[in-house]
């Protein structure tokens, strides 16, 4: 709020200083403003404020959102259940405008397909999905043990999915996945790998709705069943590091052994690429 | 009828039958032990287009213990023994298929010893016409036994996994069973997710296997000859894999990874699985001895991948392999004296035979990536998977003269073979 006043007064001030060296004054003023908000300031100074009618279907284009004020963006984000993503400074001003805009756009697209999918599920299937996402607390059962709040549960699941999607893309993963590689017959995590895994641990701590599936793989050499075991050991090594951050109950470990190579071929290049653990957030 | 001429047919096998998905190639054939003539069977009535004598010849040749040839003319009781002695054949087999009704036939077989000119065996068998291939296999085992004093391995079945790349991406996996010669393949499980480790129960009634259809490794049991739904073993934490049947067919040993520790468990389908190993190392790939008193398995408990044997009565575990740094996937021979396993030489993974008592290890191939060996039920052959031109194929090696027979598919790969016990 105070930023608006500051800017309004700066407009008034600048326009009243017609004969003075405007740019010099303007520079001094701009110094006081957070440099990252430059784009925003230009929009504000133009003096235009447009009210955008809320689209019932929930879809906004990036252009439409870019024209909105921070407060309007915050309001929309809250309505879409993206509260957790909003970053504010000490004065309550929006710091991560771009991220919020992206999240709103993505959540809209997600909303449509997700709600269709969920609507077609039976009550039992819905309950299963809710539990898998850590939303057991949202489930309300009636006296007979049947689902009593289907609509609310669907909404909760959709919100949860929107937050997760946004968090994952913000973290910079490609479609929520990341790969760690290993040496031959090796399941050890070295220092470099440990540091990478810690980054992921931090990400998970900051985003409680996000869950992780670790998939262990091995190259084709050696026997199939032994490689299944090796793959699991690799994924478990990664899980061990994450376990230090109390994230165990949000992690699933699976091994594919040599059954799902990324690269086929009996050569070093293929073998290197196949000895891996894949991180898959969901 | 006198036999005037005969043509020698060469032992090159190319499958032309539309019924065989697997093509069969013999690539190495040393001088085989027993020269024998198996004449085309005389056919009375409507023939079934199944050439019983050819199936028998192919079987006997595949075993590596016979050099079985045909003749151009039929033999019907009038055998020219001096002719066969001249051509150094040790035995002559001939027979007759006689139609009795629209679907029922009598099959007659006669085995004669050339040197003594005596009849060694003759039999009449009543057969339904859908069973001609089976009868050919049954008779092959009979001939084998009469002439060599050992059981053959022909009236048996194979199970294996085929993999085909789909045109639109992804793969199709099929668990198939076939005759011991690769003919008559039947798909019993089909999936877009990996299938591995098929294992026959001793009575051939059940097949256990590992499937990733639920996006993790789980063990299933199915009955290939009854139309029942495959049973999934209860959900265990982590990996469930590497199933192998106890000879009594009532329980299986399998690998489970409770709390991340991979161990071998005994599961009787009723009570909780009982751990057979408890070491924190990887313990997997178990195989029961023929009397069920021991298991051989793979373990990396000393840091290297080696084969161990556990005596289930005494509980004692002893190491079995002492050559090389990687030995895995052991299977017991039917007489319990040997293990077939995979042994690493340099960078290559090769089929090897271990004499358990003497600890002598014989490397059987020069290949780069052999896997999953299995003995034929008479112990005379080992089937395993390997690569040819970067494609997965099955290979059967005869332990008598190292003769090798290859089974492959025109499209896609074959892997993970398992050899059943006798069908009769």
The answer to whether the CB atoms of A225 and B416 lie below 8 A apart is no
What is residue A278's predicted lDDT score, i.e. its pLDDT?
94
Q: Taking CB atoms and an 8 Å cutoff, what residues of chain B touch A255?
A: 216-217, 239
Distance (Å, rounded) from C-alpha B224 to C-alpha B206?
7
Would the pTM count as exceeding 0.90? no
What is residue A158's predicted lDDT score, i.e. its pLDDT?
84
Closest partner CB to B369 (pick from A233, A259, A266)? A266
Distance (Å, rounded) from C-alpha B384 to C-alpha B406?
10
Instruction: Determine contact, residues B22/B405, Cβ cutoff 8 Å.
Output: no
What is residue B188's predicted lDDT score, i.e. its pLDDT?
93
What is residue A121's predicted lDDT score, i.e. its pLDDT?
87
Alpha carbon of A259: minimum distance to chain B alpha carbons (Å): 6
User: What's the token pair of residue B346?
Assistant: 């340099």
Q: In the block, which residue shows the tokens 């003919």? A: B183
Pick from B212, B259, B265 the residue to mutate for testing the A interface (most A CBs within 10 Å).
B212
What is residue B1's predicted lDDT score, i.e. its pLDDT?
38
DSSP H or E run through B132: helix B132-148
What is residue A38's predicted lDDT score, i.e. its pLDDT?
40
What is residue A108's predicted lDDT score, i.e. its pLDDT?
67
The answer to whether the CB atoms of B217 and A222 lie below 8 A apart is no
The answer to whether the CB atoms of B349 and A222 lie below 8 A apart is yes
User: What's the token pair of residue B39?
Assistant: 């004449």
Pick from A225, A227, A258 the residue to mutate for testing the B interface (most B CBs within 10 Å).
A225
Beta strands B207-211 and B91-99 are unpaired
The answer to whether the CB atoms of B369 and A229 lie below 8 A apart is no
What is residue A239's predicted lDDT score, i.e. its pLDDT?
94
The answer to whether the CB atoms of A255 and B329 lie below 8 A apart is no
Q: In the block, which residue shows the tokens 């009634």? A: B205
Distance (Å, rounded) from C-alpha A207 to C-alpha B312?
50
What is residue A109's predicted lDDT score, i.e. its pLDDT?
64
Give Cα B10 distance to the centre of its chain: 24
Closest partner CB to B242 (pick from A225, A232, A254)? A225
B168 in A contact zone (CB under 8 Å):
no
**In sequence order, what DSSP letters do the residues of chain A get, joined into one string?**
-HHHHHHHHHHHHHHT-TTS-HHHHHHHHHHHS-GGGHHHHHHHHTT---PPPPPTT----HHHHHTS-HHHHHHHHHHTT-GGG--B-TTS-BS-HHHHHHHHHHHHHHHHHHHHHHHTS-HHHHHHHHHHTT-GGG--B-TTS-BS-HHHHHHHHHHHHHHHHHHHHHHT-BTTEEEEE--TT-----HHHHHHHHHHHHHHHH-TT--EEEEEE--SSS-HHHHHHHHHHHHHHHHHHHHTTT-GGGEEEEEEETSS-SS-SSSHHHHHHHSEEEEEE-
User: What's the token pair of residue A155?
Assistant: 């909404």
What is residue A17's predicted lDDT score, i.e. its pLDDT?
41
What is residue B140's predicted lDDT score, i.e. its pLDDT?
95
Alpha carbon of B214: minimum distance to chain A alpha carbons (Å): 11
The answer to whether the CB atoms of A259 and B238 lie below 8 A apart is no
For chain A, list residues with pLDDT below 50: 1, 10-11, 13-58, 175
Distance (Å, rounded) from C-alpha B179 to C-alpha B386?
20
Instruction: Determine contact, residues A179/A277, Cβ cutoff 8 Å.
Output: yes
SS (H, E, C) A119-176: HCCCHHHHHHHHHHCCCHHHCCECCCCCECCHHHHHHHHHHHHHHHHHHHHHHCCECC
Please state the φ and ψ torsions of residue A7, each to the nearest 5 degrees.
Answer: -70, -40
Closest CA to B305 of B343, B360, B263: B343
What is residue A25's predicted lDDT score, i.e. its pLDDT?
38
Q: Taking CB atoms and an 8 Å cutoff, what residues of chain B touch A221?
A: 347, 349, 369
Pick from A223, A233, A238, A241 the residue to mutate for testing the B interface (most B CBs within 10 Å).
A223
Q: Taking CB atoms and an 8 Å cutoff, what residues of chain A touch B215?
A: 254
The tens place of each residue's pLDDT in chain B, 424 residues long, gives 333 222 222 223 333 334 455 667 776 555 667 899 999 999 888 767 788 999 999 999 888 889 899 988 778 778 888 888 888 889 999 999 999 988 889 999 999 999 999 999 999 999 888 888 999 999 999 999 999 999 899 999 999 999 999 988 889 999 999 999 888 899 999 999 999 999 999 999 999 999 999 889 999 999 988 878 888 888 777 889 999 999 999 999 999 998 889 999 999 999 999 999 999 999 999 999 999 999 999 999 999 999 999 999 999 999 999 999 999 999 999 999 999 999 999 999 999 999 999 999 999 999 999 999 999 999 999 999 999 888 999 999 999 888 889 999 888 999 999 999 998 7
Q: What chain A residue is nearest to B349 in terms of C-alpha separation?
A: A222
**How much is the ipTM here?**
0.87
């Amino acid at each position: 709020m105070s930023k608006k006043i500051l800017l309004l007064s700066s407009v008034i001030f600048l326009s009243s200083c017609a004969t003075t060296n405007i740019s010099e004054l303007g520079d001094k003023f701009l110094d006081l403003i957070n440099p990252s908000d430059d784009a925003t300031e230009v929009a504000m100074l133009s003096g235009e404020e447009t009210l955008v009618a809320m689209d019932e279907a929930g879809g906004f284009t990036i252009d439409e959102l870019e024209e909105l004020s921070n407060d309007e963006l915050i309001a929309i984000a809250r309505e879409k259940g993206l509260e957790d993503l909003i970053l504010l400074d000490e004065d309550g001003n929006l710091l991560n405008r771009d991220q919020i805009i992206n999240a709103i756009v993505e959540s809209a697209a997600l909303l449509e397909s997700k709600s269709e999918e969920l609507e077609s599920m039976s009550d039992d299937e819905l309950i299963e999905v809710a539990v898998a996402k850590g939303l057991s607390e949202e489930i309300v059962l009636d006296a007979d043990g049947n689902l009593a709040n289907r609509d609310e549960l669907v909404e909760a699941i959709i919100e949860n999915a929107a937050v997760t999607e946004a968090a994952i893309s913000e973290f910079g993963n490609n479609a929520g996945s990341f790969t760690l590689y290993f040496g031959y017959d090796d399941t050890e995590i070295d220092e470099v790998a440990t540091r990478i895994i810690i980054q992921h641990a931090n990400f998970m701590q900051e985003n409680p709705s996000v869950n992780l599936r670790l998939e262990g793989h091995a190259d084709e050499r050696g026997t199939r069943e032994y490689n299944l075991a090796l793959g699991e050991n690799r994924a478990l090594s990664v899980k061990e590091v994450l376990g230090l951050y109390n994230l165990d109950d949000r992690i699933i470990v699976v091994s594919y052994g040599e059954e799902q190579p990324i690269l086929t071929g009996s050569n070093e290049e293929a073998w290197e690429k196949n000895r891996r653990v894949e991180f898959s957030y969901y | 009828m006198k036999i005037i001429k005969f043509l020698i047919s060469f032992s090159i096998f190319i499958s032309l039958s539309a019924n065989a998905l697997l093509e069969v190639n013999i690539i190495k054939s040393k001088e085989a032990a027993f020269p024998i003539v198996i004449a085309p069977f005389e056919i009375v009535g409507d023939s079934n287009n199944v050439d019983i004598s050819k199936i028998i010849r192919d079987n006997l040749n595949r075993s590596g213990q016979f050099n079985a040839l045909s003749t151009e003319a039929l033999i019907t009781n009038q055998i020219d023994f001096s002719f066969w002695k001249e051509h150094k054949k040790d035995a002559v087999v001939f027979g007759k298929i006689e139609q009795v009704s629209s679907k029922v036939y009598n099959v007659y077989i006669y085995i004669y010893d050339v040197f003594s000119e005596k009849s060694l065996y003759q039999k009449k068998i009543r057969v339904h016409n859908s069973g001609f291939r089976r009868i050919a296999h049954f008779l092959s085992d009979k001939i084998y036994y009469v002439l060599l004093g050992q059981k053959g391995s022909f009236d048996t079945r194979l199970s294996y996994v085929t993999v085909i790349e789909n045109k639109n991406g992804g793969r199709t996996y099929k668990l198939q069973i076939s005759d011991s010669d690769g003919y008559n393949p039947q798909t019993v499980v089909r999936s877009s997710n990996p299938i591995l480790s098929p294992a026959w129960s001793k009575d051939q009634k059940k097949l256990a296997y590992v499937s990733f259809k639920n996006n993790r490794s789980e063990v299933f049991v199915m009955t290939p000859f009854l139309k029942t739904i495959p049973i999934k073993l209860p959900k265990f934490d982590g990996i469930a894999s590497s199933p192998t049947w106890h000879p009594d067919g009532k329980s299986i040993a399998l690998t489970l990874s409770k709390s991340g520790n991979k161990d071998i468990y005994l599961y009787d389908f009723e009570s909780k699985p009982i751990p057979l190993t408890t070491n924190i190392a990887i313990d997997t790939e178990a195989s029961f001895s023929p009397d069920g008193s021991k298991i051989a398995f793979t373990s990396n408990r000393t840091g290297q991948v080696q084969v161990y044997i556990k005596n289930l009565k005494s509980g004692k575990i002893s190491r079995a392999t002492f050559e090389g740094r990687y030995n895995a996937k052991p299977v017991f021979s039917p007489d319990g004296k040997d293990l077939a396993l995979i042994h690493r030489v340099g960078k290559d993974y090769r089929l090897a035979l271990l004499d358990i008592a003497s600890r002598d290890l014989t490397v059987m191939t020069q290949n780069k990536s052999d896997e999953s060996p299995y003995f034929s039920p008479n112990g005379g052959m080992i089937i395993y998977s390997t690569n040819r031109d970067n494609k997965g194929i099955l290979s059967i090696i005869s332990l008598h003269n190292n003769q090798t027979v290859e089974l492959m598919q025109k499209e896609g790969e074959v892997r993970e073979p398992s050899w059943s016990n006798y069908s009769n």
